[in-house]
Chain A
Amino acid sequence: MTTTNDVPLRVENLEVHYHTRKGPVKAVDGVSFELQKGERLGLVGESGSGKSTIALSLMVAHKEPAKIEGGKIFLNGTDMLSLSDAEVRSKRLSEIAMVPQGALNSLNPVMRVRDQMIDGLKAHGVSKSKEEFADFIAELLRRVGLDGGVAEMYPHELSGGMKQRVTIAMSISMNPSVIIADEPTSALDVVVQRQIVQTLLEAQKQIGAATILIGHDMGLMAQFATRMGIMYAGRLVEIGPTREIFNNPKHPYTQLLISSLPNTQGKRRLSGIPGITPSLLNPPPGCVFHTRCPKATERCKIELPNLITEENEHSQACHLYTEPAKSEEEVTA
């Protein structure tokens, strides 16, 4: 077993359900993965995949009607779900920090940048003199490519890109072990998007924090992540090194997804994935993808595939890659 130093975050069989009038919606249905120290994991998924739910759940910041129904989240060896609210709060920012979606206005509009940053630090017991704080903030802002004068400004005076950089500065202010960036570039233009992702990359490298980038843009993942996890309908269907995923995708969903991506290296016929994501209220039996999978077999309709690791640390959850557990006749009986 790896020591906690090498694995700042370990998720085991996480289950998060939304309780609606019609029953529980299984937004996250048994997801497990490990985050190595200092690595950059990209969690990719479309709408309904559960990726945003995971982002909030990892910080135990999910709200009603979402509830964590099962599984464990180990942050630096401690089971987050067994902690009290106060204990979880103290770990946020200091051990696990979040860079929220670009489209949300997560900064307090009536406080100057400097005051917001200091507030967060003070709430975690960081105490410095006024000058020390000023220097500290200036240094943080410099690290994300912002001029020190930004500290005096109010959020509405900043552009979208600058605001996101402030949130990145805040997230690294206490040198956390884990940073969760949940679609940090949504609603930002492509040039600004590049700046933000590169800023995040730099910041992450400097403090050696393991980072999870959550999103739907495979291009961004290719630029940022060293390892990628593909989510579909609440389950992790494939996970592995980025190059492996792009050059040798195993799961049919990943294969279809990658082949549907347009690029600028020559025009070609575009093809998407037929069908629609299944209802998470009443997921189909067996493999969640079988209704849209061109390679589905009878087994896929009955048996849920597990995430199997093969060579190159490349895992996928698909029956195509496993020996039948029993003979085919026994399974369908």
Chain B
Amino acid sequence: MNEVIPLLECRDISKTFVSGTFKKRYNLALDKTSLTIAEFPPAITAIAGESGSGKTTLARVLLGLLPPTEGQVIYKGQDIAKMSRSEFRDFRREVQVIFQDPFESYNPFYKVDHVLETPIRKYGLAKNKKEAKELIIDALETVGLRPSETLGRYPHQLSGGQRQRIMVARAVMLRPKIIVADEPVSMVDASLRATILETLRTLNDEFGISILYITHDLTTAYQVAENIIVLYKGTIAEAGDVEKVINSPTHPYTRLLVDSIPQPDPDLQWGSDSSVSRLTGGMSGHGCVFYDRCPIREDRCDETPPSLYQPDKYRVTRCYAYEESGTFDSPKLTDAFIPASEIAPIQG
């Protein structure tokens, strides 16, 4: 088995948000999570969850935009909180981001060229203006855009899809090791989503960039990623091979999510079973986070939270129902991930 060299990892990360001056309220957005992203082979991993799941918090912590309350984020073996200025600069360059909102990602004061010229200047990617121009044109063409139709324009003169593709071009141009894409297509038209997602796949295949795909849409997560982590209220509910997790979910929450997907096929209707409403009775807060909505809950689920169990070689789930499969002991979640070598190539 290949020893996966961790490139970016977080160890026992948790994030609590505090609000209020006198009467403080604590919100545990992310609970004791550990995650590894390898340099080789470059993989696409999806982090899926609804609002309040902690997925955006996790992304921001991994990107170094948010300091964790506990735990460390390690890049190339170094704690990012302790890096020198130049080391952090390298980190910033090699771990890139694509944000969700194609409008807010641009400063309306500048033309879209600004967002492409700035990194070239700051990271010294070109020796002169001519080289810089070539770099930009190349990046734009990689994502399927025509420079003549995009350069020289202001953000409001382009469509959301074009703006988002320019953002992808920007990320590619820097030849990062990892791209964290936070809901990159949720604000883009359906007909363009496929194009952008296919581009992400290309970045992974041809440029060897690892991608962390954050989303609430299980369908696109399924299409794009090899492995998936399902988050619920700051904890990992289920993780592993995307085929397994999506098409034969074990955790009751994953089941609920998958059942709620509106399949674009009139013959695949939602079940009429609406046991999706909150069940009566509250929960102690000391046990499983899904207790109050779980159709298969037992008393002990409310007392202590379950550990991660491993019902399949490439899947872990945090539910007592699978206790007999044995606990997942490794500190590296990726040990339960299906390696790229074992995935069938894509048809079509």
Query: A194–B192 contact, CB under 8 A?
Result: no
Docked complex Cα distance between A246 and B262 (Å): 14
Docked complex Cα distance between A263 and B257 (Å): 14
A189 at the interface (CB under 8 A from B): yes
Query: A267–B191 contact, CB under 8 A?
Result: no
Query: A271–B195 contact, CB under 8 A?
Result: yes
List of A residues within 8 angstroms of B69 by Cβ:
none
CB distance from B319 to the nearest CB of A (A): 17
Interface positions of A (Cβ within 8 A of B):
46-47, 145, 189-191, 193-195, 197-198, 216-223, 242-243, 246, 256-258, 260-264, 266-274, 276-277
B348 at the interface (CB under 8 A from A): yes
B265 at the interface (CB under 8 A from A): yes
User: CB within 8 A of B262: which of A145, A193, A243, A268?
Assistant: A193
| 8 pairs, A vs B, C-beta closer than 8 Å | A190-B50, A190-B217, A260-B193, A264-B222, A264-B258, A272-B193, A272-B194, A276-B162
Docked complex Cα distance between A145 and B222 (Å): 32
CB within 8 Å of A: which B296-344 residues = none
Query: A222–B262 contact, CB under 8 A?
Result: yes
CB distance from A183 to the nearest CB of B (A): 13
Q: Which of B20-28, B90-98, B266-274 contacts A (4 or more CB under 8 A)?
A: B266-274
Query: B346–A242 contact, CB under 8 A?
Result: no
**Chain B window 254-298, contacts with chain A (Cβ cutoff 8 Å), 1 for yes, 0 for no:** 001111111111111110101011000000000000000000000
Q: With contacts defined as CB atoms under 8 Å apart, how many contacts are there between chain A and chain B in the complex? A: 134
User: CB within 8 A of B346: which of A191, A260, A262, A267?
Assistant: A267
Known: A190-B216, A258-B264, A260-B194. A268 touches B274 (CB 8 A): no
User: CB within 8 A of A268: which of B195, B196, B272, B348?
Assistant: B348
CB distance from B181 to the nearest CB of A (A): 15
Query: B191–A219 contact, CB under 8 A?
Result: no
Docked complex Cα distance between A257 and B270 (Å): 22
Across the A-B interface, the 7 shortest Cβ-Cβ residue pairs: A219-B262, A272-B195, A269-B348, A268-B348, A270-B194, A272-B194, A273-B191
Query: B223–A262 contact, CB under 8 A?
Result: yes
User: CB within 8 A of B266: which of A145, A189, A243, A261?
Assistant: A243
Query: B260–A193 contact, CB under 8 A?
Result: yes
Known: A264-B219, A264-B247. A270 touches B198 (CB 8 A): yes
Docked complex Cα distance between A222 and B219 (Å): 15
Query: B260–A194 contact, CB under 8 A?
Result: yes
List of B residues within 8 angstroms of A267 by Cβ:
222-223, 346-347
**Chain B window 23-62, contacts with chain A (Cβ cutoff 8 Å), 1 for yes, 0 for no:** 0000000000000000000000000001100000000000
List of B residues within 8 angstroms of A271 by Cβ:
194-195, 198
User: CB within 8 A of A190: which of B196, B218, B269?
Assistant: B218
Known: A257-B191, A276-B162. A269 touches B346 (CB 8 A): yes
Query: A264–B246 contact, CB under 8 A?
Result: yes
CB distance from B332 to the nearest CB of A (A): 25
List of B residues within 8 angstroms of A272 by Cβ:
191-196, 198
Known: A191-B276, A223-B269, A262-B220. A218 touches B264 (CB 8 A): yes
Q: Which of B51, B159, B162, B194 has the most CB of A within 10 A?
A: B194
Query: B219–A47 contact, CB under 8 A?
Result: no
List of A residues within 8 angstroms of B264 by Cβ:
218-219, 221-222, 246, 258, 261, 263
CB within 8 Å of A: which B187-223 residues = 189-198, 201, 216-220, 222-223
Query: B270–A194 contact, CB under 8 A?
Result: yes
